[in-house]
C-alpha cells in the first residue's frame, strides 16, 4: 500500500478473517484530510504530468488539500505541463 503515489491511494479494506472489512489507513489520510506523497512522487511531479492530474482529481473529488511541500511542487509542475 505504501508504494502508491498519494497516501489517499494507500488505504485498503482488510480481507483477513479476523479483521474482514476493516478499513486500513496506515498513513492517517482520513485524520488529516491531506493528500501527501506516499512514494517519492513529489520528486516526479515536475517531470511527469499524470501525478499532477491525479492530484487535481483528489483535490476536486475528495476536497483534500495537498501538504505544503507537495503543493509547491504541484504548482511548479502545472507550469511545465504542455511544454
Classify 28 as helix, strand or coil: coil
Three-class secondary structure of residue 34 per DSSP:
strand
Yes or no: say if 45 and 81 are a contact pair by the CB < 8 Å rule: no
User: Could you read off the pLDDT of 49-75 as tens digits, one per residue?
Assistant: 677 777 778 788 888 888 887 788 777
Q: Residues 24-37: pLDDT tens digits?
A: 988 787 887 777 77
Contact 36, 6 (CB under 8 A): yes
Residues paired with residue 48 on neighbouring β-strands, in sequence order: none
**4 in Cβ contact with 10 (< 8 Å):** yes
pTM: 0.54
Contact 2, 26 (CB under 8 A): yes
DSSP class of 27: T
Amino acid at each position: 500500500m505504501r508504494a502508491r503515489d498519494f497516501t489517499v491511494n494507500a488505504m485498503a479494506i482488510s480481507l483477513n478473517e479476523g479483521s474482514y472489512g476493516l478499513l486500513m489507513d496506515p498513513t492517517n489520510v482520513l485524520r488529516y484530510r491531506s493528500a501527501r506523497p506516499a512514494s517519492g512522487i513529489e520528486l516526479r511531479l515536475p517531470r511527469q504530468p499524470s501525478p499532477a492530474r491525479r492530484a487535481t482529481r483528489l483535490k476536486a473529488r475528495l476536497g483534500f488539500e495537498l501538504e505544503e511541500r507537495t503543493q509547491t511542487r504541484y504548482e511548479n509542475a502545472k507550469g511545465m505541463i504542455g511544454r
